[in-house]
């Protein structure tokens, strides 16, 4: 997140708070309009890359400064023994079971007033750690997809990818989990409140 301060000459006109709000709303509306088409395609199961069926977060290729904080689809259906894959887009976690924090509340305030990151919320549990991203310019062609297998899951423990940044330019990360018994398995992103879904296994 970045910003800038523009210092004007003493006699220059400074935009009012209302003018700034209108400009911000206009910028936001323009970004949202670019995201609506790709979002609706994703909700319909149409992804631009082959092999992607479930995503943790989403976006659009021509929008670099905004993303969609949503699990798509929010309800995933699977059979016992089936491996289910999620592709991460932007910075999120894919977390199952009783979480160590409430989603979105990853900062804690110390008695001295300092704020600290809850590292437990961003560490992988039951998944291998994410690989280091590639260095240098992105390769030509479709982005590489690296799959990390989280093994099996029966709902009896906390399991999380940890905090992971993944995007088409630097390469996508895909996480897989195999469900070993029938039931409903809620999953969330610990970074973003209200970002979650459920796997229904039969």
pLDDT in tens, 58-88: 988 888 888 899 999 999 999 999 999 999 9
Mean pLDDT check: name the lowest of 27-36, 129-138, 159-168: 129-138
pLDDT of 138: 60
* Averaged pLDDT for residues 114-126: 89
Write the CATH number for 128. Answer: 2.60.40
Domain total in the chain:
1
Give the domain range for residue 188.
Answer: 75-201
* Alpha-carbon gap, residue 199 to 74, rounded angstroms: 8
pLDDT of 87: 95
pLDDT of 139: 63
Radius of gyration of the chain (CA): 20
pLDDT of 74: 96
Is 67 a member of any domain? no
Half-sphere exposure of 49 (CA within 13 A, CB side): 22
* Averaged pLDDT for residues 8-30: 89
Is 6 a member of any domain? no
Q: Does residue 128 or residue 135 have the better pLDDT?
A: 128
Q: Please state the pTM of the whole predicted model.
A: 0.84
Is 109 a member of any domain? yes
- DSSP H helices, 49-150, are 119-122
pLDDT of 1: 65
DSSP string, 137-193: SPPSSSPPEEEEEEEEE-SSS-EE--SEEEBTTTBEEEEEEEE-SSEEEEEE-SSST
Is 33 a member of any domain? no
Q: Does residue 12 or residue 133 have the better pLDDT?
A: 12
């Amino acid at each position: 997140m970045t910003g800038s301060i523009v210092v004007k000459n003493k006699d220059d006109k400074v935009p009012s708070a209302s003018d700034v709000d209108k400009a911000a709303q206009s910028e936001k509306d323009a970004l949202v309009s670019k995201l609506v088409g790709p979002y609706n395609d994703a909700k319909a199961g149409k992804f631009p890359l082959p092999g992607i069926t479930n995503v943790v977060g989403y976006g659009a290729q021509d929008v670099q400064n905004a993303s969609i904080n949503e699990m798509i689809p929010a309800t995933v259906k699977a059979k016992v023994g089936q491996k289910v894959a999620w592709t991460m887009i932007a910075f999120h976690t894919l977390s199952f079971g009783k979480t160590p924090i409430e989603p979105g509340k990853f900062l804690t305030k110390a008695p001295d007033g300092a704020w600290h990151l809850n590292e437990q919320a961003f560490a992988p549990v039951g998944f291998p750690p994410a690989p280091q991203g590639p260095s240098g310019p992105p390769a030509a062609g479709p982005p590489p997809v690296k799959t990390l297998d989280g093994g099996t899951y029966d709902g009896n423990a906390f399991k999380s990818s940890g905090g992971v940044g993944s995007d088409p330019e630097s390469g996508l990360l895909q996480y897989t989990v195999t469900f070993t018994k029938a039931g409903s398995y809620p999953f969330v992103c610990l970074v973003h409140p209200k970002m979650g879904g459920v796997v229904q296994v039969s």
